[in-house]
Structure formats: C-alpha cells, structure tokens
Amino acid sequence: MVSHLQSLQDFSKEELLGFINRAIQLKEERLAGVTHRQLAGKTVGLIFEKPSTRTRVSFESAMYGLGGQVIFLSGRDTQLARSEPLKDMARVMARYVDGIVVRTFGQEVVTELAEYSSVPVVNALTDLHHPCQILSDIMTVVEKKGNIEKLKIAWIGDGNNMANSWIQAASRIGFELILACPEGYDPDPEIMAAAQKEAVKPITVTRSPEEAVAQADVINTDVWASMGQEEEAEERLAIFQPLQINSALMAKAPANAVVLHCLPAHREEEITEEVLESEQCVAFDQAENKMHMHKAILELLIGCK
C-alpha cells in the first residue's frame, strides 16, 4: 500500500517520532562523513505552484544526498496551468517518477493527486497544512530541549497552515500547545475540534501573547501576511502588531525558552532583529533541519531504506 504525507494525521505517534529520530540520525551520519545512497536510481518530481527557496533547495539537496535525482516543475511548466485533470496528471507522473512532492494552494490538489497516484505524494505546503515544516521544527525542538512530550509550545501569530499542523502534531504526539491569535484569525475550527478530542495535553487559543509565552519552552511565529495575502498586508500589520516577538514579550517567557521562525522573517514585523539574532533564536538550525527531515521523509515513504 502506498503511503502519502497529506497531513500529520496520516501517521501514528510512533511513525511521526520515527521520521524525527531518523532525520536526527541522518544528520549525525552526514556530519560524520557517512555517504548515503539509499535512493540511487530513484527520481522525485517536485511540482511547485507556489515558489520557494528553502523548501525547493532542501528537497533537492535531500534527494541528491540520498543518491537520487529530482525533476522540478513550476506551475507554469505543467498541464495544471492548462486545466489538465489532476487525476490524469497523477497517473501519468507516477509512471515516470518514484515520488511526487507538491507545493500548492488548495489541500484538495494534494488529496486528488494522492488518490490517483501509485507512488507516494508529499505535501510540501498547502493553504491548510504544512506537515514537512512542522516535522523539521519538532526535530529542532527535540535537539534543543529533549523530550517534546514534556514541553509547552507557544504559537504566536496567524492561525494559518503552520498553526494547523502544529495542532495536529500536538494531538497526535502529545504535548501542550497554546496559540495566541487575534480574533478572526483562529486556526481551522474542524482541525482544532478533532485535535482536542484526541489530545492528552491541553491545546488552547488565547488572545494574549503574554499568556502564551508564560512558562513556554518554545516560542514560534511566522510572517503575518503569507504568499497570496499581499493585498491584506497593511491591514494585517495593524491587527498583528500586538503579537510581535520582541524583547518585552521575551521578558515574560522563561530565560531558557527557544524561539523558532520558519523563515523568511520580516524583521521588525512579526519578530525584531534583536530577538532573531539572539542566542535564544534557533531559526537557522531549524532551516538546516528541513533538509535532514526531507531526507527521512523521502527515504521512509519511497521505501528504499
């Protein structure tokens, strides 16, 4: 049976921790000079309707690092731009490549590709979920803080695809999560309701960033206006300003809390230069870990370990 990574709900707690532990192992082995060739002779197709720097380079580096190759297709390079049915595209591409990584807008695109593809489909970002990013973020947390099940994670900002995937991770793995979001920008209500039914630790939403960071081991944020929300940028700047990660807010958090940001960061908007460049911020370790996590995902899903 083909395993797809459409959202973090596709996998059990043990499987999600398996991705994280394997990514840490692959990172250690790379630093020790171990050469990996598990995917030699394999090819992955990258379909990116939304452009990206880190996600593209980290997936391509991951595949090359495992001995495989990639074919990159932007939205305009595929028949998606000319309205070819997704099910036709999925069935044809699956006969050429060993895996499909897709970065797009609607979650339904990933769902339909997975339904008709006979090779693994990986969600590299949709407007609803960002599972690969959250797995690499949790890998970073485990490296810095140890057992994530004992930690309190704070999300400060928009209830976006990142927040939705953090919620699914909290319910499935079992850690405390508190989200500070402005009214009207809460996470997806269906994802939140499903997660709260499954969760063994609290998953809550507050309007107060000070409440969120109190006793938090990890403080996490993202840009206030994502790709496709450019027309809302000015309005969002005003609404989200009270949620900025700055030295005053960090003074309300434990001194040993670490700060995550998936990058690119808009300095002096969602996070100040001072905090981003501080020793508490691990955003660049977090960015590096995307490559190691993508290696683990490709290896474990394509099944050539």
Give the domain CATH number at 87: 3.40.50.1370
Closest among 267, 224, 275 to 247, alpha carbons compared: 275
Tokens 């057992």 found at: 147
Closest among 113, 134, 248, 246 to 187, alpha carbons compared: 134
Question: Does 227 carry a binding-site annotation?
Answer: yes
Q: Does residue 77 form part of some domain? A: yes
- Residues 203, 171: contact at Cβ < 8 Å? yes
Full domain range(s) for residue 297:
13-130+288-303
21 and 57 belong to one structural domain: yes
Per-residue pLDDT of the chain (305 residues; tens, 9 = 90+): 889 999 999 999 999 999 999 999 999 999 999 999 999 999 999 999 998 999 999 999 999 999 999 999 987 777 666 678 899 999 999 999 999 999 999 999 999 999 999 999 999 999 999 999 999 999 999 999 999 999 999 999 999 999 999 999 999 999 999 999 999 999 999 999 999 999 999 999 999 999 999 999 999 999 998 777 778 888 999 999 999 999 999 999 999 999 999 999 999 999 999 999 999 999 999 999 999 999 999 999 997 54
Question: pLDDT digit string (tens) for 272-298?
Answer: 999 999 999 999 999 999 999 999 999
Question: Does 262 carry a binding-site annotation?
Answer: yes
Cα distances (Å, whole numbers) of residue 101 to 4, 62, 158, 259? 10, 12, 25, 28
Q: Does residue 6 form part of some domain? A: no
75 and 44 belong to one structural domain: yes
* Chain CA centroid to CA 28, Å: 21
122 and 155 belong to one structural domain: no
Question: Does 280 carry a binding-site annotation?
Answer: no
Question: Does 118 carry a binding-site annotation?
Answer: no
Q: Does residue 7 form part of some domain? A: no
Which pair of structure tokens corresponds to residue 269?
A: 């908007």
80 and 145 belong to one structural domain: no
Question: Does 103 carry a binding-site annotation?
Answer: yes
113 and 140 belong to one structural domain: no
Question: Does 161 carry a binding-site annotation?
Answer: yes
Question: Does 54 carry a binding-site annotation?
Answer: yes
Q: Does residue 256 form part of some domain? A: yes
Question: Does 147 carry a binding-site annotation?
Answer: no
Question: pLDDT digit string (tens) for 60-102?
Answer: 999 999 999 999 998 777 766 667 889 999 999 999 999 999 9
Question: How far is it, in rounded angstroms, from Cα 72 to Cα 207?
Answer: 41
Question: Does 263 carry a binding-site annotation?
Answer: yes
Question: How far is it, in rounded angstroms, from Cα 66 to Cα 64?
Answer: 5
Cα distances (Å, whole numbers) of residue 11 to 6, 29, 47, 254, 291? 10, 25, 23, 32, 20
